[in-house]
Structure 1
Amino acid sequence: MSLKHFLLLFLICLASPSFSQLISDSQIIEKPGEQVNLSSPYHTTLSFFKNLEEGNFHPEKAAQTLDFTGIEDPNTTQLTTKLRQVFEGKGVLIRTSEVPNVENYQDSTSSEDNIYYFDKQKLPGVFLEKTGNQWKFSAFTVDQINSLHAETYPYGTAKLLTILPKIGNQEYLGLHLWQLVGIFILLILIFLAHWVFTLVVDKVLLYLFKRYGYGKVGENYILPVARVISIYLIVVMLSLFLRVLQLPVEIWSWILVVLRTLKPLLITVIFYKVVDIIAAYFTKLAIKSESTLDDQLVPLMRKTLKAFVVVIGTLFILRDGLDLDIIPFLTGLSIGGVAIALAAQDTIKNFFGSVMIFIDKPFQMGDWITSGDIDGTVEEVGFRSTRVRTFRNSLMYVPNGKIADSILDNHGLRQYRRFYTTLTITYDTPPELIEEFVNGLREIVLAHPNTRKDSYHVYFNNLSSFSQDIMFYIFFEVPTWGEELRSRHEILIQIVKLANSLGVRFAFPTQTLHMESFPEKQSLVPDYSPDQAFYQNKLSEFLAKEVNKKS
């Protein structure tokens, strides 16, 4: 709060009514020595504040409105003055027109009869009670005056109530001289405290962070939090010392609302920024881990914590700053929460689906997943949905509840990536060449750095309608699809080079027309021998040459 704002508030104070003006609606002229009127809460309240006005200061008469029963050797004048200072310090604005003028008034909210509370929230222990035919501040209230005064003016600030007025009571600009001096001293203290805190944070603390290699952390995270803490300390200082100046209660009550609101608001901002520090720490840990899903968990955690801080901070602002009863609000939330939960079943389902994804970790960022219509690479996991980049380069938003309930095929978690193809060669390729070609293919597999060496299958395994087929079945040990494609490319290039080197021709679907007989040409129809023994001898020769020699 700047000096300009202070001066503006003080100018408003000059035109604002004081306690005396608030109770001027009923003029009660009492002569010294007369008994005050205590016939109703209205008359007791009027007598108490009227006799403590600056121009009509009769504390001995105001003391008649207090019940000193059970108080040993009471200093009636001091207790009476302290009670009025408690009203002013707490910012309790008393309007006599709102005080009941009924002799037998009964509080409908209390189980006891003939009791009147001024403000149950700010001063729950201060009330009027009818004793006989007189309304007085209860004995319980009188017994609590010293403790309430110490609570209202803590840390020795109560002494300033007696020290500052000694400076002088001359009026300038509608304020007493001691009030103006107090304002000047308070401004100096505020600027001095801010300068000291800034010096400690900017020079000392930031210097230490830079010295130990955390300069960016200090500038980006610690310094913003420290500056908000500095503002918070200034607000605390204002709330402690401004009440000592005894400004007009109707203005001070509004200033007090602002200060009470600023406290939980600034604390909320501090914790909001602390969440960034926590998130930065966990981000550093996530970078060190192998899992890429942790990198996505940190932003989700940061958003959750910030939402939690905002909700809790708002409740404290409503309760402490605006003096609102949040219990009915929370009760309404619990009842309305059932309706909201029923209306937001899908949203809740998707949220818990995201929780299960982070717990089970079925995939990581960058994994290729397929499930029904889902086919692409995972980019981000959010509160409600997961973003999947398809191979068409479009972005697919999949509800987390659907992913949690569906069967998911994660290609990114494969230890080995299978590559299967069929090499077709022409029918005129001799068996010896086929054998050497297959051996060469196996050597290519063994020589490649990214192939699995303990499990691969390369065999001549089929005779199709237009080709002789060689099965080529291998595995790549690579982490990504891009590296798999690169390894495929390298293997296929080596296969083509091997085929060209050995003279192997790859077959493709063709049709060849053969003439079985032609004049003056040898027929293409084989001449089969009618003797079965001939074929038996051929079979025996083959077995002896090709089969028995291997055994």
Structure 2
Amino acid sequence: MIRVSRFSLIFILLMLPFSAVTAFQEEAPQPRDGDLLSNPQRTVHTFLHWQQSGHKNPEYVIKTMKLADQSDEQKLELAEQLLKVFDARGLLIEYERIPADPAYRDSLSGMQQYILFPSLPEVYLTKTAQNEWVFSRTTISNIPELYQNTFSSWVTFIVDNLPEWAHNEWLGIQIWQYLAVFVWLLSGLILMKIFNFFLDNYVRRVAQKTKFTWDDDLIDGVEKPAGYIFLMTFYFLTYSNLQFSVSISHVLASVLEIALSAAVVWLFYNLADVLSKYLGMLTSKTETTLDDQLIPLIRKTLRVFVIVMGMIAILQNNGYNVASLIAGLGIGGLAVALAARETLANFFGSVTIFMDRPFKIGDWIKTDNVEGTVEEVGFRSTRIRTFHNSLVSVPNSNLANTDIDNLGLRRYRRLKTVLNLTYSTTPEQMEAFVEGIKAIVKGNDHFRQDFYEVHFNSFGAHSLDVLVYVFFDVPDWSTELQQRHNFLLEILRLAKEVGVEFAFPTQTLHMDSFYGEEPRKIGADRSEEELAAAVYGFGPNGEKAHPEGIRIYKDGEEVDFGANK
């Protein structure tokens, strides 16, 4: 918004050399006798043209005020005041838009009258019984009030009492107007600082005392745009006191109006973020996650809506026919639809995702081309954070037409492995080893207890194979890895305890042993009591069971390397 206001000031300075340019876009022809008030266009020309410096003619001017019950001097003063109002407010008159029909009638009222400006409906021309178009009695009676509303009385008093040198012109602008611009700009900035100080030191303090947080976010969101709205409103309401020529006032009014509209759009843009944050707080308290996914979509929709409506309002307020513009865009609607078919497909894909709910934010999903955690679902694409920490944007149309493996919805996470024991393992050791693994599973609450399989499964080429088929009951991948670590570590300790060894692919060459020599003894002998004690020791609450990992102590303090965090 600061750029807009600076642009307005620069534009004014650039317009200074051209301030003496006349208000007319085209010079109307010189009037003939009896033709001064023949139609609305001629009456407006008579009113404006004969008040310009170089060819002033009071006798012609007062004819437009003939319905006034005052003297000619008072009529001339009223005409001068009305012209100053037009100039100060930047009400630029274009002759080609004024009807030249002597029998013109207003399309709404059906009366023979013509309103000069929609923003000043109380100023209009009317046709008299003498077939002359003049300012109406209502207009004449409202001129003093319009003048007072346009110019501050104390500013008028100061300007009327300035020394003669202050009214000297330089580049078409009087010296006092240069000083007035500086005071005008400085006053607006000072008032904005006061407004921000009040907002920051009084309103914010009240908001901080409440138990809510949304009011603090509201103050943060509206503080800056509200300050610029206050500044632009002050400038827009007071720029007429500068009494510039109509060309400069017209440009200045347009720039200030655009700046004010842009500041309002900025305010509602920030309010959309505040509303989205407040809705996010409400949805976080619900059990469903569908509303959590809708918040980013609502935020983006509100932002686009605010910007589009702001642009339409700015164009409409500056004389552009938005309806015809939209109708013109509709002509190329088919071409736009064909060009944007991918965008539309992605939009309907996002609708499908929200309706079908194949995943939610935070889920771990896997598709044909990407695997990772869902971070955001938008209009066009879904953003997935991969395990390389990169961010992949997948078009929603692709997701709607592909297989999605939602790993985040798993309640149980499977572990299937085969443990290879050496052929020196005795049947008793095998049974103890298998039952020991089952005991480890039973003793750990992170396993699914109603279904698991641990069996001596096959005789392999180089090993005795034990199938382990279990399911972890864990919420996320990190916990799964930790419990897998604990489980495999328990199996290692169990193998050591029961005296079995793990096999690996080998070839053994047996040769006749010399007398007195014995083959290498593999494994360790254990009694049945020792084997049973090992089984129970690794079972629920067993003295040898450590389902949460090994505990290591150093200097009397536990060093936790394997426990689940």
TM score, norm. by length of structure 1: 0.70
Partner of residue 266, structure 1: 263
Q: Does 1:194 align with 2:198?
A: no
Higher relative contact order (CA 8 A, sep 6+): 2
Q: Does 1:405 align with 2:404?
A: no
Q: State the distance in 2 between where 1:407 and 1:505 align.
A: 44
Partner of residue 172, structure 1: 167
Q: State the distance in 2 between where 1:173 and 1:489 align.
A: 92
Structure 1 residues 240-389: aligned runs within 5 Å = 240-282=237-279, 298-320=295-317, 322-358=318-354, 360-389=356-385
Tell me: CA distance 1:447–1:151, structure 2 relative to 1, closer, same or farther (3 Å).
Answer: farther
Q: State the distance in 2 between where 1:318 and 1:336 align.
A: 21
Structure 1: runs of 5 or more not aligned: 516-551
> C-alpha displacement at 1:338, in angstroms?
4.0
Partner of residue 203, structure 1: 201
- Aligned length in residues: 499
Letter of the 2:234 partner, please give it. M
Residue deviations 1:17-48, cap 9 Å, x none? 466x9999877799xxxx88323555422332
Partner of residue 414, structure 2: 418
Tell me: CA distance 1:499–1:262, structure 2 relative to 1, closer, same or farther (3 Å).
Answer: same
Partner of residue 446, structure 2: 450
Structure 2: runs of 5 or more not aligned: 512-565
Instruction: Determine what percentage of the aligned residue pairs are the same residue.
Output: 35
Deviates more, 1:126-135 or 1:408-417: 126-135
Q: State the distance in 2 between where 1:16 and 1:167 align.
A: 24
Q: State the distance in 1 between where 2:427 and 2:25 align.
A: 118
> C-alpha displacement at 1:267, in angstroms?
0.8
Contact 1:36 1:47 in 2 (8 A): no
Contact 2:12 2:252 in 1 (8 A): no
> C-alpha displacement at 1:12, in angstroms?
2.3
Letter of the 2:44 partner, please give it. T
Tell me: CA distance 1:325–1:149, structure 2 relative to 1, closer, same or farther (3 Å).
Answer: farther
Partner of residue 234, structure 1: 231
> C-alpha displacement at 1:443, in angstroms?
1.0
Partner of residue 467, structure 2: 471
Partner of residue 524, structure 1: none
Q: Which has the larger radius of gyration?
A: 1
> C-alpha displacement at 1:200, in angstroms?
0.8
Contact 1:228 1:269 in 2 (8 A): yes
Partner of residue 499, structure 2: 503
Q: Does 1:487 align with 2:491?
A: no
Letter of the 2:416 partner, please give it. Y
> C-alpha displacement at 1:476, in angstroms?
0.7
Tell me: CA distance 1:434–1:169, structure 2 relative to 1, closer, same or farther (3 Å).
Answer: same
Contact 1:93 1:249 in 2 (8 A): yes
Q: State the distance in 1 between where 2:298 and 2:285 align.
A: 18
Tell me, what secondary structure is at the counterpart of 2:394?
Answer: strand
Contact 2:296 2:376 in 1 (8 A): no
Tell me: CA distance 1:119–1:214, structure 2 relative to 1, closer, same or farther (3 Å).
Answer: same
Tell me: CA distance 1:23–1:364, structure 2 relative to 1, closer, same or farther (3 Å).
Answer: closer
Residue deviations 1:416-456, cap 9 Å, x none? 11222333445664444333222211111122241122332
Deviates more, 1:36-45 or 1:411-420: 36-45
Residue deviations 1:344-392, cap 9 Å, x none? 1221221232344345543344433223344344344343222335556
> C-alpha displacement at 1:393, in angstroms?
6.5
Tell me: CA distance 1:508–1:120, structure 2 relative to 1, closer, same or farther (3 Å).
Answer: same
Tell me, what secondary structure is at the counterpart of 1:305?
Answer: helix
Tell me, what secondary structure is at the counterpart of 2:332?
Answer: helix
TM score, norm. by length of structure 2: 0.69
Tell me: CA distance 1:105–1:285, structure 2 relative to 1, closer, same or farther (3 Å).
Answer: same
Tell me: CA distance 1:147–1:311, structure 2 relative to 1, closer, same or farther (3 Å).
Answer: farther
User: How large is the RMSD of aligned CA atoms in angstroms?
Assistant: 5.1
Contact 1:416 1:477 in 2 (8 A): yes
Q: Does 1:12 align with 2:9?
A: no
